[in-house]
Structure formats: structure tokens, C-alpha cells
Chain A
Amino acid sequence: MSEVAQALAGLKVLEFGGYAAGPHIGKVLANFGARTIHMESRERPDGFRIQYPPFKDNRPGYNRSGCFAFFNDSKYSVTVDLKKPAGVALARRMAQWCDLIIENMRPGVMERLGLGFTALAELNPRLVMLSTCNMGQTGPRADQPGFGSQLSALAGMCELTGVRDGPPMLLYGPYIDYIASLLGTSAALAGVIRSRRTGKGALIDLSQYECGLVFMGAALREFFASGRVPARCGNDDPVAVPHGAFPCLDREWVALSCWSDADFAVLAHAIGEKELASEARFATAPARRANSKALDAIISAWTAQRNADAAATALQAAGVAAYPVVTMAGLFADPQLCTRRQFRVRRHPEMGDHAYCYPGFDLAEAPGDIVGPAPCVGADNDFVFRDLIGLSEAEYGSYRQQGVFD
């Protein structure tokens, strides 16, 4: 793993847990130079290593999971069996080394292990601990288990996805988990910034449900103010019309929108139908909305003769907001994302060369990077325990003898 003088150089992070919501935080921090250690055990590794495809060559294996790799690049992996008292003792020693602990166990598990915030803060008063789970650490349903893919339904996103008369729609994967992990990353950074300024640690209780509701904040404020309950409406917008996705050649789609009559006049001109803007049925937004079926047919007739990229390029050249509906394969070829080096290939010991996703921002003077591939399970035990934590050979051997690293 390369050492780069990055913005978060010197920040020491320890992760307990697995899947998405916790590890994604550590990945983002690691991309900017934090030294992030992902703790799991060989007997019970991170669930993303074994439970979810894709696997390299479709062959499952602890070190073959693309799902795990996607959220754990640039980190170190250690194995500690927390069911053994010696494992807990080692974890407590690591808590004295780090600045930040991220955990996404069910509420109460860390306390039962003797690794709760109160206990660890006695060892390390500057410690920041971020605990993230479905419902938060308190409340009548704090103990309810759940997956982010279903929590997105409870938080209102699925209700607002789909066509007006159809059922709600799925959003891919644990959509809401990544809202929580991004907001949680800010909270964790705020905690360590204060800790460095004041020497005071913090316990951050992050409810993935509540974080998701932040993205629904406008609809919730509107409900409190007016009682209005929004419904899914396909791609319609209360202001913009047209506003939607239109079919192109080769089963591609292009998204576009017009936010004013002037915007529509530009669109009409761009698709060779400039007289539309002066027709009564399309001249105003209410008129276009009332005649949206006819309007969509006209726009679709133009888009259907082009591929999505050509359509979007022509529309943007004219001044219309438009972009292809980018597929997962298209992300790797998108010229804008390629310029940003959004996906960066790194060589993994078992998976070979494959791509990791960079965050959506970068720093000009201290850019981040995909510092290294995702670690194989327990690959960094020697380095972390000897060189970082400072175990003596005798201590390291003793832990090994007790099966702590199994």
C-alpha cells in the first residue's frame, strides 16, 4: 500500500462490522489518506465477502467478492475473534491507538462485548465513535433488524418511485445506506476535528432511517405545512414540462427537461420543430402538460432516430438540459467520468485488475486516490499488530496461540 501525503494523513480509523453502511465511511476516509483498519474474523468475515455477488469468475470466495471490494479499497484488513476474551482485549488495545471507531453492529452488541463507547473512552478520552444502524441506538424500535433495500421503503423513497397508477418501485441495493454513510462521514470528520482541537471525544448515533429522511426533507416540511402527501408520478415535475426520459436507438434513453417557455422554444428549434413553441397546445407549461402525450410523441420521434449520446450532445449544444440515461456499462465509458478518473483500476492479489469507484469530489492541492485494492481477509495482521499497534513478538505470539486471529 502506497504512502501518499493526503489530506487525512495521520487520521487513524478502526472499523467493526461489515456490509455497506459502516465500511463505506472508512473507504471514503481512506481515499483521502486516513489509515483505516477493517476488523473481521476468519470464522465470521464481512458478509459482503460471501453473501452477495458478483464474484470474480463467478466463483465465491472470501477474497473474490466485487461487492466487498467496492466498499473496502485502500484499507487494511485484520482478523480478531471477538468471541474470545483475548480478542476483546486486543480490540481494546486498538481502541487506544485510533482516533475514530466506526461500528454498525445491532444496538447493544458493542456494549455486551465490552467495547461500548463509555468503556473505550476511559481508555482513550479523545476517541470518536460513530455507531450506525437502521433505527438508531434508542427508541421503541431500536432493536429492529433490517436491510437498507427495505428501509428505503420505510423512508418514503419507494413510495415516490414509479408511474402514477403502478406499484412502488425498488431502488437498487441498500440505497438509503449510502445516504447514511455519506452523512456519517461528515459527522465522523466533524468529531475528529473537534477532538483534535479540544481533546474531547464524541459518540455519534447515526440512524440510517433518519439520514434517509434528510433527502425527503422538502416533502416532509411541505406535509407539516400544508398536509400535502406527494405521490409517485413517473418522471413528471410540477414545474418543468417536458421533463422525462425519451427512447433512442439501440434501446437507449435520453433524459431532458424544459423549465420555461423559453427553454421549450430552444428545444423545439433543436428538434427541427420550431413552430411548436408558438402553437397554442404547447406555448405554455399548462398547455404542454395538458397535451403531454402528443408532445412526448413528437420529441420521441426525434430522439428515436439517434443514439442517446448524439441526442444529448445536440440538445446541449442548443442549450437544452439533457443527458443519456447512463447504464452501468456506460459509466465506464462516459467521457466526463473518464476525465475525472471516476473508476480506477487496481491489482488485487486474487481478483487481478479491476475497477474501484472514487468519491464524487476531489481536492486541488491534496487530491485523494484509490490508495490500494481491497484487502484479502486478515492480510495485514502482521503489519497492523506489530508495526502500528506495537505488539511485541511475545504478545503477538501469545494472541496467535490463543486463536485470536482465527
Chain B
Amino acid sequence: MLLSNVLIIDATDRLGWLAGRVLADLGADVIKLEPPDTDRSRSDWRAFNVNKRIVELDPQIPADRARLEELLHTADICLLTPESSGAHLDPSALRRDYPRLVVVAIRPFGGVGPRSAWKASDIELMAAGGAMALAGEPDGIPVRVSEPQSYGWAGAQAAIGALVALFRREATGRGDLVDVSAQASVIAALSHAPAFVDLLGVEPTRAGAFMTGRSIKGARYRVFWPCRDGYINFIFYGGVAGRRTNEQLVAWMRECGADLGALAAIDWKTWDPTKADQAEVDAIEAPVAKFFARLTKREFLNEGHRREMLGYPVATVADIASDPQLEARGFFQAVVGSAERFCGSFAMIDGKRPPLRHHPDVPLAAAQPPLVVSAAALAEPSEVTAAPPARPCTTGARLGAKP
């Protein structure tokens, strides 16, 4: 495991859960401090806290606080969302008291600035980071992805910050304080859209289900096409890859006896999407719309792959869950002893996907003796080999107590 011997204390809420999950997937031993009243049945909690060891902690109890302090002396990284992590885990105080510790503070708008105390959930963060300005119909309401994304962007950048600081500590022996802004983290999702403003004074906006800005004659190209069981994402591209795709599509339609309409007369070697007007685009898209309407998403995916075409179906989670590509790579995983399935570790290392080691229903406190036994034991946590079925949180259970 890449991060074997790295111990992380994770005291985050939803805004920062992914950071610890990413680091756990890379092999770190992540100990998640969890308030006793957390609803652990929620899918988001479970998805982003699997692979961590769970500890219930009551900072009001002196023995718990002493154990936490002992743990912080041993830890390499402490992940915080200061709004909820508690006064006993103040980032500046941690930096002062534990000089080797990398402290990562994840906040909606970061730790400095005139709006650093502003409140935000996913929708405000996607708005603040510019993502909503780019999603939705051109003249309609800005929309977000229905599945929260901003927490992912923040957690992903927080994990990087933690490792940048850890890399430096390896050389200098000094920890650091990493300040993460979820708003600023979301900007990565915008690709190069801000550069249009900076270089040309042009403001990219929402494009809906079509793609604009590719034709000098103002034509818009369809991106999402209805098919038998949903939608297909397909775009008439130019260039080498586009030409091959377009040629293969026409060949496929011809083999199926589909009406080619205006497609039959096009020489893809010379066709240039930047020069097409709307009438031409409409004419070539009409027969394709009819053809795609006959297909299922899986048929498009499989045949598109066989023909090396660009384009993918618009997948639901059900489609994704049964994708043979993911099955072949063992992406979905369960912790040994449990049937509950999760996204597995996000990267394969030396040809293998690191297994999920810890089930979120197994509190670390369930094992006696107490939590902090030795640095060596913490560095090499034992595998969880049996996980009980999901059960509600035992309110009142806490660090060092039996569940």
C-alpha cells in the first residue's frame, strides 16, 4: 500500500468525508472520529466513510480527550471541517501543540476572506464556484448535478493538500496547516471556461442539451439523443477521431438498412463541422435521430466500442452497476465478511486494486484493549475479517467502550 505507516485522524463532516476516503484507498490508516448521534445508515455517510476505522468520541469526557491527545501525538495528518469538528480540534491550536502534524482545515469558503464565515451547502458551493452558471438551458434556470458534487471537489483537493504537506514534512520534519476552500475547489470543474473571459472578454454560458460555439455560422449540434431506453451522448466531431466516428456510424446505419438521408452524400474526409450551417446540421442529424431511437444504450455502447467510435450512452446508476468493464476490473467491492457493495479504491497499484479493509459498522472501540496501543500497532492495523449486518448507531457508545 502506498500510504502504509501513515496515520490520519479524520474529524470531518460531509464537506470533507471524501478526503479521508481517498487517503484510506491509498493505504493510509484513517481513524474517523464520529459523534454518537451521526446517522450512519445514510448512503452518503457509508459510501465516503467505508475503509476508515470508526471511533466514537465524546470530548466532554476527560478519558476520551486524553486518548485523543495521545492519538494526535502519533498521527501524521488531521482532517478537519472546523465548523463541526469541535473547539477541542481548533486548527491553529493543533498546529501549535503538534508541530509534526499536518492539519487540513476544509471550509466552504476557506479560512480567510470577507465571506469565510458564510454558510453553504452543495447548491451554494456549486453556484459560488461557477458550475451552475454553465449547466442548464441557455435561457433557463441554472442547475446543479442532482448528486452533490462540491463536497467531492473539496475532498479531492484536501487530500492533495494533505499529501503535499506530508511530502514536505518528510524532508523538513515540520507539519503545516492546509487551508481548503470548497468554493475554490469547484473551479476545477469548469475546465478552461474562465480563460475565455480573461483572454477574449467572452462569457461562456449554459448550453443545455446542445453544443454551440463550434460553427462559424452559428449552428448548434445535438449532444443528447433519445434512444429506446434513455439517451445517447453523441456529437458530430471533425478531426481524425470525428471522421472515423462519422464514417463508422454511416457504415453501421447502412448495414442495418437505415435511411441515410443527407448522410449518404457526405464525404467525411472533407466535411468540417465549423463550416456547417443549421440547415445542414439538421439534415444530417435527422436520420441519425431515427436510427438511435431504435437502439438500446447497451447496443450503442458495445457496437460503438467495436467500431472505435466516440460517444457513450447516458448511463443511470443501474447501467453503471452492471457494466462489464467495471466488473472486469473489480471496481465494486465489499469488505470481507459483508455483502454491502461500494465503489472500490479509485486506482489500481501495480496491477491490483487495493481492497477495502474496514467496514463502517465496525467501531474501532469494539476491540479491547483501548484505542492507542502503540505506534506500531496503529501503523499496521489488523484486517477486519467479519462485519456484522448494518445496524443503527449505538447512541452513547464511545471510545474505549464496548458497542
Is there contact, CB below 8 Å, between B163 and A174? no
Given A58-B200, A245-B132, A145-B191 contact (CB < 8 Å):
no
Does B370 lie at the interface of the complex (its beta carbon under 8 Å from any beta carbon of A)? no
Does A112 lie at the interface of the complex (its beta carbon under 8 Å from any beta carbon of B)? no
Does A221 lie at the interface of the complex (its beta carbon under 8 Å from any beta carbon of B)? yes
Q: By CB atoms of chain B within 10 A, which of A145, A196, A230, A336 has the most?
A: A336
Residues of A within 8 A of B148 (CB): 218
Report A294-314 CB contacts with B as 1/0, cut-off 8 Å. 000000000000000000000
Given A240-B121, A363-B177, A146-B310 contact (CB < 8 Å):
yes
Is there contact, CB below 8 Å, between A157 and B160? no
Contacts A153-B314, A321-B121, A343-B198 given; 10 further ones with Cβ under 8 A?
Answer: A54-B195, A54-B202, A155-B315, A158-B233, A167-B209, A179-B152, A220-B47, A326-B130, A335-B113, A361-B181
Majority DSSP secondary structure for residues of A touching B: mixed
Instruction: Give, as a whole number of angstroms, the nearest-CB distance from A198 to chain B.
Output: 9
Interface residues of B in 141-155 (CB under 8 A from A): 141-149, 152-154
Does B123 lie at the interface of the complex (its beta carbon under 8 Å from any beta carbon of A)? yes
Interface residues of A in 12-63 (CB under 8 A from B): 20, 24, 28, 32, 51-56, 58
Does A120 lie at the interface of the complex (its beta carbon under 8 Å from any beta carbon of B)? no
A-B CB contact pairs (8 Å), 18 listed: A28-B160, A53-B196, A168-B209, A169-B135, A173-B190, A185-B160, A193-B163, A217-B47, A234-B143, A245-B141, A253-B132, A256-B123, A257-B123, A326-B129, A328-B130, A328-B133, A329-B197, A331-B130
Residues of A within 8 A of B174 (CB): 365
User: B residues touching A (Cβ–Cβ < 8 Å)?
Assistant: 2-6, 18, 22-23, 26-27, 42-44, 46-48, 95, 109-110, 112-116, 118-121, 123-137, 140-149, 152-154, 156-161, 163-168, 170-171, 174, 176-200, 202-205, 207-211, 223-224, 226, 230-231, 233-235, 239, 241, 301, 304-305, 308, 310-321, 324-326, 328-329, 331-332, 340-343, 346-351
Residues of A within 8 A of B137 (CB): 166, 169
Interface residues of A in 174-188 (CB under 8 A from B): 174-175, 177-179, 181-187
Instruction: Give, as a whole number of angstroms, the nearest-CB distance from A172 to chain B.
Output: 4
Instruction: Give, as a whole number of angstroms, the nearest-CB distance from B308 to chain A.
Output: 6
Residues of B within 8 A of A151 (CB): 312
Residues of B within 8 A of A105 (CB): none
Residues of B within 8 A of A337 (CB): 183-184
| Residue ID in chain A nearest B41 by CB atoms | A225
A54 to B203, CA, bound (A): 11
Interface residues of A in 209-225 (CB under 8 A from B): 209-211, 213-225
A71 to B193, CA, bound (A): 12
Given A323-B128, A343-B198, A145-B241 contact (CB < 8 Å):
yes
Is there contact, CB below 8 Å, between A255 and B123? yes
Given A215-B152, A217-B47, A355-B194, A140-B324 contact (CB < 8 Å):
yes
Is there contact, CB below 8 Å, between A336 and B313? no
Given A169-B209, A316-B119, A136-B348 contact (CB < 8 Å):
yes
Residue among B113, B132, B178 making CB contact with A339, cutoff 8 Å? B113
Does A262 lie at the interface of the complex (its beta carbon under 8 Å from any beta carbon of B)? no
Is there contact, CB below 8 Å, between B340 and A225? yes
Does A83 lie at the interface of the complex (its beta carbon under 8 Å from any beta carbon of B)? no
Residues of A within 8 A of B124 (CB): 255-257, 321-323
A71 to B188, CA, bound (A): 10
Does A272 lie at the interface of the complex (its beta carbon under 8 Å from any beta carbon of B)? no
Report A68-89 CB contacts with B as 1/0, cut-off 8 Å. 0111000000000000000000
Residues of A within 8 A of B152 (CB): 179, 214-215
Is there contact, CB below 8 Å, between A56 and B146? no
Given A203-B351, A337-B184, A366-B168 contact (CB < 8 Å):
yes
Given A153-B315, A319-B119, A360-B132 contact (CB < 8 Å):
no
